[in-house]
């Protein structure tokens, strides 16, 4: 075919650097609490606002990469997803950020009580029943529609990046970690997707993919994980060629499953 494919421009101009303040300003406003996690590029802490001791926030301290001229992509995406006054967002809200000489600090909303979907599944000790899976996946679909409507492609939908707020009778789904995200486009993407075992077949076959089908694929992997307490694939060969086993008792093929 001579059809030309448009490639998503992931280097689309982001806002110029707009520092939110100095390290002194950060330390005057926030107290850093216990470390919640640590990775190769930074650390996550519980955080507190000093003027009212508000505890419901997370501090992400990232080592700086690059020349710092542009706002890091994750900040740009979270700014696009910030809810307007009196609105709520499926994405965890960026409250503040500090672009310092050697690190980037993000101050994020921390819903409480909550846990990620992996811990939520572990706390239950079994795969979720279909009715509960339907509630969670329906909210996740709505969340993804919301972020796509705001021009954001998450690109790393997985159980670790889904928070479940557990303070109400009905659990509420929130999305976190837009570090692999980019701007939404109808074109073709060529940059590597987020997490290997959630990757779509077309990426492993051709090194190309689109936002919509990739999001649907990753959502399907999550749904399988919820209903089986195990992921469907372990490597690219399985992703491309194999159909995962389906446990007995599921209402397969019934379109009303997540309506």
Bind-site residues for ATP: 36-44, 109, 116
Is 156 known to be catalytic? yes
Q: How many residues does the chain have?
A: 259
Task: Decide: helix, strand or coil at residue 117.
Answer: helix
Annotated binding-site residues read: 36-44, 109, 116
User: What are phi and psi for residue 183, nearest 5 degrees?
Assistant: -75, 145
Q: Active site residue: 156, 160, 177, 248, which one?
A: 156
Angle at 64 between CA 59 and CA 67, to 5 degrees: 140
Pairwise CA distance, residues 80 & 153, whole Å: 11
Residue 156: name the closest of 197, 125, 109 by CA.
197
Angle at Cα 99 formed by Cα 97 and Cα 104, nearest 5°?
A: 80
Catalogue the active-site residues. 156
């Amino acid at each position: 075919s001579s059809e030309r494919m448009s490639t998503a421009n992931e280097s689309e101009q982001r806002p110029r650097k707009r520092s939110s303040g100095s390290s002194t300003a950060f330390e005057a406003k926030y107290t850093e609490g216990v470390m919640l996690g640590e990775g190769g590029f930074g650390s996550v802490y519980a955080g507190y606002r000093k003027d009212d001791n508000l505890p419901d926030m997370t501090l992400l301290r990232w080592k700086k990469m690059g020349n710092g001229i542009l706002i890091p992509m994750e900040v740009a995406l979270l700014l696009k997803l910030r809810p307007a006054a009196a609105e709520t967002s499926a994405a965890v809200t960026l409250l503040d950020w500090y672009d310092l000489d050697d690190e980037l600090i993000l101050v994020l909303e921390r819903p409480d009580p909550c846990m990620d979907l992996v811990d939520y599944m572990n706390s239950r000790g079994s795969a979720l029943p279909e009715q509960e899976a339907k509630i969670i996946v329906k909210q996740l679909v709505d969340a993804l529609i919301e972020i796509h409507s705001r021009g954001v492609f998450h690109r790393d939908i997985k159980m670790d990046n889904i928070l479940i707020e557990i303070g109400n009778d009905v659990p509420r789904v929130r999305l976190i970690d837009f570090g692999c995200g980019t701007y939404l486009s109808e074109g073709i993407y060529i940059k590597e997707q987020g997490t290997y075992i959630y990757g779509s077949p077309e990426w492993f076959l051709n090194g190309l993919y689109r936002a919509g089908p990739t999001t649907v694929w990753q959502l399907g992997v999550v749904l399988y994980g919820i209903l089986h307490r195990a992921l469907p694939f372990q490597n690219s060969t399985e992703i491309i060629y194999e159909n995962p086993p389906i446990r007995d008792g599921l209402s397969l093929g019934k379109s009303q499953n997540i309506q």
